[in-house]
């Protein structure tokens, strides 16, 4: 056991391995790889959102495009819109990724003297996959009572060999 630990520590010190700590994977000090993820949420007739995020290799990132909607019976408003969380890792020139997304939309609101209410429709998806740099992955979702939508994720590896400290 001690020999395995010593060999593992030596490999990490030489940059031959990676250390996983929570949701972060440390990259080699010689290069810094980043992954640009462009997400396109396409509804039936139009693009609903097109956010882009640049992430360090092995770091999870989140995008939220939302508006706050007041609801009866709560002091805090409810966020409606798109929430995307993604964790990309570069492995052998490919991007291994995982994450989830949620689209929450208003589905009705009424304010009468005897009743106030607000309703929402949410679509949630979890995903994991493998992509080449420049490749787009498409997830098609058909909610039972909602409109069909596609989430397209395009991955691009950005490499910076000059690490600044």
Q: In this predicted structure, what is the pLDDT of residue 22? A: 38
- Quick check: is 1 in a domain? yes
Q: Is the pTM of this model over 0.85?
A: no
- 115 touches 101 (CB < 8 A): no
**Low pLDDT (below 50) residues in the chain:** 1-30
Domain residues for the domain of 11 are: 1-26
Q: φ, ψ for residue 93 (rounded to 5)?
A: 85, 0
Do 13 and 89 have their domain in common? Answer: no
Q: In this predicted structure, what is the pLDDT of residue 144? A: 76
Q: In this predicted structure, what is the pLDDT of residue 18? A: 33
Q: How many domains does the chain have?
A: 2
Is residue 13 classed as helix, strand or coil in its secondary structure? helix
């Amino acid at each position: 056991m001690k020999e395995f630990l010593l060999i593992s520590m030596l490999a990490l010190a030489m940059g031959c391995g990676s250390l996983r700590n929570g949701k972060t994977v440390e990259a080699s000090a010689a290069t810094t790889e980043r992954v640009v993820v462009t997400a396109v949420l396409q509804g039936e007739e139009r693009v609903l959102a097109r956010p882009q995020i640049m992430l360090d290799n092995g770091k999870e990132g989140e995008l939220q495009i939302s508006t706050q909607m007041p609801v009866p019976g709560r002091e805090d408003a409810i966020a409606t819109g798109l929430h995307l969380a993604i964790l990309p890792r570069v492995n052998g020139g490919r991007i291994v990724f995982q994450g989830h997304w949620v689209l929450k939309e208003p589905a009705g609101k009424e304010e009468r003297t005897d009743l106030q209410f607000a309703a929402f429709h949410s679509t949630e998806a979890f995903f994991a996959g493998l992509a080449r740099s420049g490749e787009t992955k498409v997830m098609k979702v058909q909610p039972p009572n909602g409109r069909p939508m596609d989430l397209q994720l395009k991955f691009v590896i950005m490499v910076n060999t000059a690490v600044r400290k």
